Structure 1
């Protein structure tokens, strides 16, 4: 998390960004291996948003920090080239994850007599419409369940050059246009199309771009040692109150029922659907406001920054610094855990061991990427 608020930022890498991104990766991994008791501890139980929203927001912040310098130094071609190189890397990783997930499902069916995985997560389309599946997957028109955040991120990264160029000149105009696109997508139900199945992307880029753009604007300001949103006591109280409201909502069913009735009444009275629903696909207002309130509130206290410098947070920071390979490994391991659970059923001890082993494997990969000696180029 960067300085949407808080003490004056420096252009140095913010430890909060790595720590919270690492935490989001752990929670995504836990949630992608469903029906385990650790799911009850992830942030989706305590507010309207979940780790995916946090990951996209922080990815936007990281992109703003990483790429805005090229455009500020009037070297846009280098910046564009780096963005496109990253897009290509993410595409390759997405295809690799998809292929491995298919292999895990097939192995569970072939070797362990557990065909259930072949019926889940959109894998069944391979059997029903193999030619359409083989076209849809590389074109990103068909995405397996739990393997749909990287296509979103890939599309959002393509926004980086024009958004940074505009944000360095007219940041509020860029923000306004982004809000308009989000609102129009929600009101008109406009989405990227699926293929070969009907419908749209589970994570609609036209809606999620607003969260990413807000992250970009935050990262651009951080890179310039500025703050995008200042620390205001009344805003701290407001965001803290909203977080408390969402916590009570999620933990008190009677209160949630009462409040949902109020939202339905507002919708019946003409309030836009995207403002009153909890759609993840269209990133409806309650989810969007929750992750923004959480980011603002946490980043407004110096104690959070100090805590992220502590040694106890170092493993999370390591995961956050190597987000792409960690996410890829976590997704593959989550599919493997799901396959095991289709064979063994529910087992608290086994679930705990598999989740713990998966997190340790991700830490091992992150450490190898971070600290393994890089080969030196040998001159002829």
Structure 2
């Protein structure tokens, strides 16, 4: 099948927005998707990772077996994800320590879960390779690795019992969120920032979508009423996120009160109306699904993603893993630079534009190396 450029372009856009969001305090963070809805680029990235997994690995589990070829490919990818995560974590610690040592920016060692590295150094050295201690800005790859590790079983079930898989996935999501079940952290208390037991539901929706796309089908058919509902929900979430004043209060005050009434008087579970990223609560989940559905129904999206203007995003989307790894490292560099310099529009522009240029350069280099290797 011809490669679907929509997935590459949208994934590239997500990578750019993740980098901008992880460099807080710039004017550019006001224009990313999280300012116009309940979800952000992380939800889109995980959903599209599930779609990509279904497209890439579904064929290995469609027949009667054996399935070792598909299992091997997926688990090799898991090992690569683990390696990239460990390398980016070590580099991020080194960058933060360098700013503290040579520029006096000791605050860099007190953010993004880095306090444990000097407060509990031995425990941290145990927790990092076990994925029990994850730094901020570099903690989405453990989630992806865990989901992809279970991928062979998930795809096998999705090929044969998709409805049962989706029902069990929803049940696991609900139980984990309702009873605060998470993967353990060490040495810090709590759990993973991206709880795999909850985020697996979004990944599996993406997985089923990818498998249907591979067959030239849609997981959810185009329906006018459903599209209108998705657009209305997106519009409401945009208004709430923008938070305009309404009398002596703001829209968010009234919306929060409405959510509280729904929980108290309709006995809805907390995660259905709450706003928590770790447990992927209802408004965040519904928003990313509404956005994905609306985009999938837009006939002009294919042509737009095939345009020359979208080519840089498609390039980064095709090389998503190395670009994400570099972006995670550059976030620490950018935050350190902003910490030791007075704020300015020019500085914000330099760190954002420079980081995106480096990410784009790495993606171009990876593809150039690949072409050179094929030539011989």
The bucket for the TM-score relative to the shorter chain is: over 0.9
Find the aligned partners of 2:43 and 2:5 in 1 and give their Cα distance: 19
The one-character-per-residue Cα deviations of 1:183-242 (angstroms, maximum 9, x if unpaired) are 011111100010111111111000000000000000011111111111111111110111
Kept after mapping to 2: 8 A contact 1:299/1:305? no
Kept after mapping to 1: 8 A contact 2:338/2:347? no
Range with greater deviation from structure 2 (18-27 or 254-263): 254-263
Find the aligned partners of 1:223 and 1:210 in 2 and give their Cα distance: 20
Residue 35 (structure 1) aligned with residue 25 (structure 2): yes
Q: Which runs of no fewer than 5 residues in structure 1 stay unpaired?
A: 1-10
Aligned partner (choices 33, 36, 39) of residue 46 of structure 1:
36
The residue that corresponds to 1:3 in the other structure is: none
Tell me the number of residue pairs that the alignment of Structure 1 and Structure 2 aligns: 368
Runs of 4+ in 1 over 6 A off after TM superposition: none
Matches within 5 A, 1:155-170: 155-170=146-161
Q: CA deviation at 1:252?
A: 2.8
Kept after mapping to 1: 8 A contact 2:52/2:210? yes
Kept after mapping to 1: 8 A contact 2:209/2:218? yes
Residue 192 (structure 1) aligned with residue 221 (structure 2): no
Residue 264 (structure 1) aligned with residue 260 (structure 2): yes
Kept after mapping to 1: 8 A contact 2:330/2:355? yes
The residue that corresponds to 2:196 in the other structure is: 205
Find the aligned partners of 2:105 and 2:255 in 1 and give their Cα distance: 42
Q: Which runs of no fewer than 5 residues in structure 2 stay unpaired?
A: 245-249
Residue 16 (structure 1) aligned with residue 6 (structure 2): yes
Aligned partner (choices 77, 97, 110) of residue 88 of structure 2:
97
Matches within 5 A, 1:107-256: 107-253=98-244, 254-256=250-252
Find the aligned partners of 2:315 and 2:40 in 1 and give their Cα distance: 21
Q: CA deviation at 1:377?
A: 10
Q: CA deviation at 1:112?
A: 1.2
Q: TM-score, normalised by structure 2?
A: 0.96
Residue 276 (structure 1) aligned with residue 273 (structure 2): yes
Q: CA deviation at 1:75?
A: 4.6
Residue 339 (structure 1) aligned with residue 329 (structure 2): no
Kept after mapping to 1: 8 A contact 2:319/2:363? yes
Find the aligned partners of 2:353 and 2:86 in 1 and give their Cα distance: 26
The residue that corresponds to 1:287 in the other structure is: 284
Range with greater deviation from structure 2 (11-20 or 284-293): 11-20
- Give me the CA root mean square deviation: 1.2
Which secondary structure state, in structure 1, belongs to the residue aligned with residue 294 of structure 2? helix
Find the aligned partners of 2:259 and 2:374 in 1 and give their Cα distance: 61
Find the aligned partners of 1:312 and 1:55 in 2 and give their Cα distance: 21
Find the aligned partners of 1:281 and 1:232 in 2 and give their Cα distance: 31
Q: CA deviation at 1:255?
A: 2.0
